[in-house]
Chain A
Amino acid sequence: MLGIGIIQGLVETARNFFGSYTSKQRLTTVQFPDERLIQPEAARVFPFLVYDTDDWEKGLRCVACKICEVECPPQCISITKSADKKPDYSGIYSGKPQFYPEKFDIDVSVCMSCQICVEVCPFEAIKMDNAFELSTDDRFGGLMWDKQRLAMPNSHYQAIHPTDAAESDAALAEKKAKAEAKPAAAAAAAPAKPAPEKAGAATER
């Protein structure tokens, strides 16, 4: 009969009207500045550069290899490679001096948060941050982040992405162990046993 469907609909909205007062399932709104959702671990916004030790400039893991610059889909990264080499402060390059980025700029107004730079980086040097309240009144300078703005300690990475950071640290430890094992193996004719064991332990976790 005419009107049944309309009455059904009215009942449904009424149910939702009262339901929104009683059930958290229905009223899912989060009132943002007062309440905040917990960001999932995977959340990603813009990249940052990881550094070890306390000195952001010396401890940067980045060796200015420019892979991310090439692979970045919107090409928002611009790197200038240094002329000289700096000593291995972070201790992941088996003490060999490395090149470093003289300039490392990311234009975050262009960046599309795709995470490809993170995936292609062979040195675990660039990672995704999850800070999202980044508005600025400086339209050009404020959105062109230089390497000081981008540098974040490894502890920050461990804090925001614990699982990924553990994997990344393990991978680095393994690499380090291998690098240490190699000269040891070359020096002593006997195969260096402790190092591979250590590497194996690192992969297991």
Chain B
Amino acid sequence: MSPETANLEEIVAQVPPARGVVEPLPPVNAEGEQLLEISMGPHHPSTHGVFRMNVVLEGEQVVRLKPVFGYLHRNHEKIAENAAYLAAIPYTDRLDYLCSMTNNWGYALAVEKLAGIGVPERAEYIRVIVAELTRLQNHASLIGFLMQDMGMSGTPLMYAFREREKILDLFESLSGARMMCNYMRFGGVRVDTSAEWLRQVRELNGEFPRFLDEFESLLAGNEILMGRAQGVGVLSPELAVSSGASGPMLRASGVNYDVRKVDGYGVYDRFSFRVPLGDHGDVYDRYMMRVLEMRESVKILEQAVRDIPAGPIMDPKARLRGLRPKAGEAYGRIESPKGELGFYLISDGTGNPYRYRVRPPSLINLTVLEDMCLGRGVADVVVILGSVDIVLGEVDR
């Protein structure tokens, strides 16, 4: 044994504890045997950002898992409370940085409720189109990331990015930015779509099912994938509802709850689409929910592009600057690709929101992470986390 090894305990004692670790439970099992405690993250290839899990293992089985957040915390809510209503929109882009369009919509919806602003019909259709495009690209890349976590050397991820790129190109030509779109405004959208843009959406939409078929033949029947995903990370419908899980994760457990259907916000009640439901609530169901939802999104897009009316894109009463809603509060929520994205606003009659709160689907979907992972191996933890679909910008805000 080298001298370095001998005084390791001393060396370890000198290193101050990392942030956020106050874990009083000692890593021992019922028999008092020492367990293996590992810290997955914040620098880990598959925690999707700077997320950390304190995992206690017995052999390779998880007996305890505590998520640690806050590495990307920037107090988005405080920033928004100190700025005008308008100034928060570009910050919402950076919450779930894959889906800036839906984030914009969620916030715009809450402000419209708070201030009683209407939205012209054409703007509502444009919102539906961009939101469904966002859903397509988010779900496609999520499946890519999930497969990456299963060790697929990036092939599905690259296919997903190939398609995502086309959608981002559309976003760029519409809003000027690929990811941080900053596109929606209270009472409408910022710029109008051209006929050419809509034609491109129609074209992309026509080609998208081919990509989904490709995905399906590459993945859906793969025995290894089925072995890795089926029966792993099972979430019961009761626990899913109680724990506030939302989006594809809730529906994979068989709970029929889609905010697009339930609230019918925007013009969603004009489109015919179905809500896929899973029966097992495992990783495979969560994966398949995304695939099936993409197929439904394609249908919605088809109808929206076909039916979009002509007209203004901004409510004439809406003002860009100096919005001062009456004192009061409003909670607006939408079905973002990750789940139920809510914005809670309290106005005190001034130009800044008194209270600005984001209900982050990514964070709340993680509530049951430990329940899903207990008794499974490290390999499953990674896959289960991947199937939850989190973006750390939204988890930590």
Q: Do A113 and B86 touch across chains, with their CB atoms under 8 A apart?
A: no
Q: Which residue of A is nearest B220, CB measured?
A: A5
Q: A42-B191, A44-B176, A113-B177 are in contact. Are A73 and B222 (CB under 8 A)?
A: no
Q: A12-B218, A40-B172, A44-B176 are in contact. Are A71 and B321 (CB under 8 A)?
A: yes
Residue B182 at the chain A interface, CB threshold 8 Å: yes
Q: Do A42 and B217 touch across chains, with their CB atoms under 8 A apart?
A: no
* A56: min CB distance to chain B, Å: 25
Contacting residue for A42 out of B172, B223, B320, CB 8 A: B172
B174 cross-chain contacts in A, Cβ below 8 A: 42
Q: Do A5 and B175 touch across chains, with their CB atoms under 8 A apart?
A: no
List residues 32-83 of chain A with CB under 8 A from any CB of chain B. Answer: 40-44, 67, 71-73
| Distance, CA A26 to CA B214, complexed state (A) | 12
Residue A168 at the chain B interface, CB threshold 8 Å: no
Contacting residue for B218 out of A9, A41, A43, A112, CB 8 A: A9
Q: Do A8 and B221 touch across chains, with their CB atoms under 8 A apart?
A: yes
Residue A28 at the chain B interface, CB threshold 8 Å: yes
B219 cross-chain contacts in A, Cβ below 8 A: 9
Residue A3 at the chain B interface, CB threshold 8 Å: yes
Residue B84 at the chain A interface, CB threshold 8 Å: yes
Contacting residue for A28 out of B165, B172, B321, CB 8 A: B165
Residue A120 at the chain B interface, CB threshold 8 Å: yes
Contacting residue for B223 out of A5, A12, A128, CB 8 A: A5
Q: A6-B223, A114-B182 are in contact. Are A73 and B83 (CB under 8 A)?
A: yes
The digit string for A110-129, where 1 denotes a CB below 8 A from any CB of B, is: 00111110011000000010
Q: Do A42 and B218 touch across chains, with their CB atoms under 8 A apart?
A: no
B320 cross-chain contacts in A, Cβ below 8 A: 119-120
Q: Which residue of B is nearest A67, CB measured?
A: B321
Q: Do B90 and A114 touch across chains, with their CB atoms under 8 A apart?
A: yes
* A182: min CB distance to chain B, Å: 25
* A10: min CB distance to chain B, Å: 9
| Distance, CA A98 to CA B293, complexed state (A) | 57
Q: Do A43 and B90 touch across chains, with their CB atoms under 8 A apart?
A: no
A128 cross-chain contacts in B, Cβ below 8 A: 176
List residues 1-15 of chain A with CB under 8 A from any CB of chain B. Answer: 2-6, 8-9, 11-13
A44 cross-chain contacts in B, Cβ below 8 A: 176-177
Q: Do B221 and A5 touch across chains, with their CB atoms under 8 A apart?
A: yes
- Say whether chain B's binding surface is mostly helix, strand, loop, or mixed: helix
The digit string for B301-322, where 1 denotes a CB below 8 A from any CB of A, is: 0000000000000000000110
Residue B224 at the chain A interface, CB threshold 8 Å: yes
* B92: min CB distance to chain A, Å: 11
Q: Do A2 and B182 touch across chains, with their CB atoms under 8 A apart?
A: no
Q: Which residue of A is nearest B321, CB measured?
A: A120
Q: A2-B223, A114-B180, A116-B86 are in contact. Are A40 and B214 (CB under 8 A)?
A: no
| Distance, CA A8 to CA B219, complexed state (A) | 9
Chain A interface residue count, CB cutoff 8 Å, equals 30
Q: Which residue of A is nearest B207, CB measured?
A: A25
List residues 100-144 of chain A with CB under 8 A from any CB of chain B. Answer: 112-116, 119-120, 128
List residues 62-90 of chain B with CB under 8 A from any CB of chain A. Answer: 83-84, 86-90
Q: A8-B217, A13-B218 are in contact. Are A43 and B87 (CB under 8 A)?
A: no
Residue B354 at the chain A interface, CB threshold 8 Å: no
Residue B173 at the chain A interface, CB threshold 8 Å: yes
- Central interface residue in A13, A43, A73, A115, by most chain B CB within 10 Å: A73
Q: Do A9 and B87 touch across chains, with their CB atoms under 8 A apart?
A: no
Q: A40-B172, A43-B172, A71-B321 are in contact. Are A9 and B222 (CB under 8 A)?
A: yes
| Distance, CA A5 to CA B222, complexed state (A) | 4
Q: Which residue of A is nearest B222, CB measured?
A: A5
A13 cross-chain contacts in B, Cβ below 8 A: 155, 218
| Distance, CA A42 to CA B169, complexed state (A) | 11
Q: A42-B175, A120-B321 are in contact. Are A71 and B221 (CB under 8 A)?
A: no
Q: Which residue of A is nearest B169, CB measured?
A: A40
Q: Which residue of A is nearest B215, CB measured?
A: A12
A72 cross-chain contacts in B, Cβ below 8 A: 87
* A40: min CB distance to chain B, Å: 4
Q: Do B214 and A42 touch across chains, with their CB atoms under 8 A apart?
A: no
A12 cross-chain contacts in B, Cβ below 8 A: 214, 217-218
B91 cross-chain contacts in A, Cβ below 8 A: 73
Q: Do B90 and A112 touch across chains, with their CB atoms under 8 A apart?
A: yes
Contacting residue for A71 out of B87, B180, B191, CB 8 A: B87
A73 cross-chain contacts in B, Cβ below 8 A: 83, 87-88, 90-91
B270 cross-chain contacts in A, Cβ below 8 A: none
Q: Which residue of A is nearest B210, CB measured?
A: A25
Residue B226 at the chain A interface, CB threshold 8 Å: yes
B162 cross-chain contacts in A, Cβ below 8 A: 26, 28
B89 cross-chain contacts in A, Cβ below 8 A: 114, 116
| Distance, CA A13 to CA B152, complexed state (A) | 12
* B306: min CB distance to chain A, Å: 24
12 pairs of residues in contact across A and B, judged by CB atoms under 8 Å: A5-B222, A6-B224, A8-B222, A12-B218, A40-B172, A40-B176, A42-B174, A73-B88, A73-B90, A114-B90, A116-B86, A119-B320
New A-B pairs, 11, CB < 8 Å, besides A71-B84, A112-B180: A5-B225, A9-B217, A9-B221, A11-B217, A13-B155, A28-B165, A113-B180, A114-B89, A116-B87, A116-B90, A120-B321
Residues of A within 8 A of B (CB): 2-6, 8-9, 11-13, 16, 26, 28, 40-44, 67, 71-73, 112-116, 119-120, 128
